[in-house]
Amino acid sequence: MKNHIVCLSTTNYHPLPTRKQNVMSRLRNSEILYFDPPVSMIAPLKDKKASAYIEKYKQPGEKVEGHENITVYALPPVLPFFNKFRWINKINQKRQAAFIREKMREHGFGDETVLWCYSPSSCDIVEHLPHAKLVYDCVDRHSAYKGHINPKVVDKMEHDLAKPADQVFATAVGLAETLEKINPTTQMIPNGAAYEIFSRVQTEKDTLPCPEDMKDLPHPIYGFVGMLQECIDYALIEKLAKSRPNATIFLIGRTLPGVDLTNLKQYPNIVFHGLVPQPELPAYLAQMDVCLNVFRAGALSKDVSPLKFYEYLATGKPIVSTREPLQVEDFKDVVYIARNPEMFLPLCDAAAKENRPAWTEKRLAYGAQCSWTERVHQMEEVLYKKGVLHESAEE
């Protein structure tokens, strides 16, 4: 018999793979119902695209190509301000639970289900869903986000989700230290990289075609891949563009709402490319001379486990990083870490001129150690040992 897993995610399954998709798609012997996070009822006031998504929950579940064991559903829209007022969250979660129970029945999921949560707000849905085991996988310092939240409310919801969990995972030391005081099962397993994809930058470097929109760009090219969100240190990116006008800064990713990049857009040597499908990223990264991992100091940055950093390692390319997130210190022997703003430009110059094949190989080795295959194997070992998941029908 397969494991039955209900995954309540904080990220839509499509289009960008994050920890949630990478973990779920690699769990063995499992049938998974993956629920995209719900949209607020007032979301269309800020984003017209949200209107279409609000109606998506009425559509049939979508099978994931290449992973027929995963079915993706959209959830019904929710009342806003649920991260400020717990009573609103309780109303939302009760309504969500009715929808999820219906889908569980359709797929034959019952009391043996493993409930796998990513958001503190899920604390109020647990009692309404049949399940045998509860897993909380913490990927962020959720109360550090800005917007319509009350940090005390979010922290209390996280406490109420983590405490009864059969297993808690955390992606960073700070998160693990907080959560292990609530639940001693807590184990830190950082994010990872799709090594099989990003290592192509080295294994296929002579055959990867140069993307049309990167041809004729001046070198060195400093590249960034990831969401352009508030915690990124845009002052350092601007400093690089201004001080090195003959270089190119190539930014791949979507700009999140509320992030003002007006200052950066005045520099002709900064390219805003937008999203690139993951399978196409190696061709872009192959053209970059240096990969940038730049975060502003703060509670969110300190405890983040950036996918981009592990993906950069898997390319073997030189990496210039700020001292946060703290996990970069584990790789300080082959990463250029700017411990203060004054170090940033000299390190960018040094990285662009790097000629150390041994460092390239060491970064690739680190990337392999941090692959999603390895990360999920570590999680499975913990869950099999505790009986949260079973490896095969015979066990």
Residues 185 and 199 in one domain: no
Dihedral sign of CA atoms 117, 122, 126, 129 in order? negative
* Structure letter (DSSP) for residue 280: G
Q: Looking at residue 306, which CATH number applies to its domain?
A: 3.40.50.2000
* Same domain assignment for residues 323 and 293: yes
Q: For residue 10, is it within any domain?
A: yes
Q: Is residue 391 part of a domain?
A: no
- Which residues touch 79 (CB under 8 Å, ≥6 apart)? 40, 41, 88, 91, 92
Residues paired with 137 in a beta bridge: 169
Nearest to 25 by CA among 75, 70, 73: 70
Per-residue pLDDT band at 48 (split at 50, 70, 90): low
156 and 108 within one domain: yes
Ranges 121-130, 298-307, 342-351: which has the least confidence = 298-307
* Contact yes or no for 83/148 (Cβ under 8 A): yes
CB 171 within 8 A of CB 191: yes
pLDDT band at 394 (very low <50, low <70, confident <90, very high): very low
By the 8 A CB rule, do 43 and 50 touch? yes
- Taking every pair of C-alpha atoms in the chain, what is the biggest distance, in angstroms? 63
Determine contact, residues 167/173, Cβ cutoff 8 Å: no
Quote the tokens at residue 7.
């995954």
Question: Within this chain, do residues 231 and 352 fall inside the same structural domain, yes or no?
Answer: yes
State how far the Cα of 171 lies from the Cα of 68, in Å rounded to an integer: 27
pLDDT for the residue 96? 97
Q: What is the rounded CA–CA span in Å between residue 134 and residue 162? A: 9
Please write down the HEC assignment for all residues of 286-343.
HHCCEEEECECCCHHHHCCCCHHHHHHHHHCCCEEEECCCHHHHHHCCCCEEECCHHH
Residues 182 and 78 in one domain: yes
Residues 199 and 120 in one domain: no
Q: Give the chain's domain count.
A: 2
- Residue 230 maps to a domain: yes
Domain that holds residue 138: 3-192+372-386
Asked whether residue 392 is assigned to any structural domain, the reply reads no
Summarised one tens digit per residue, pLDDT across range 193-238 is 999 999 999 999 999 999 999 999 999 999 999 989 888 999 999 9
The DSSP call for residue 387 is: T
User: How far is Cα of residue 35 from the mean position of the Cα atoms in its chain?
Assistant: 16
Q: Is residue 114 part of a domain?
A: yes
Are residues 228 and 282 both part of a single domain? yes
Looking at the structure, tell me whether residues 168 and 105 fall in a common domain: yes
234 shares a domain with 161: no
Q: 31 and 13 in one domain?
A: yes
Nearest Cα to Cα of residue 20 among 101, 167, 138, 103: 138
Query: Does 393 fall in a domain?
Result: no
286 and 235 together in one domain: yes
Is the residue at 395 inside a domain?
Answer: no
Helix ranges (DSSP H) in the chain: 19-24, 49-54, 86-106, 151-162, 173-180, 195-198, 200-203, 234-243, 281-287, 299-302, 307-315, 341-352, 357-369, 372-386
Distance CA 133, CA 124 (A): 16
pLDDT at 257 over 90: no
Residue 167 sits in the same domain as residue 304:
no
**pLDDT more than 90, % of the chain:** 83
Q: Does some domain include residue 19?
A: yes
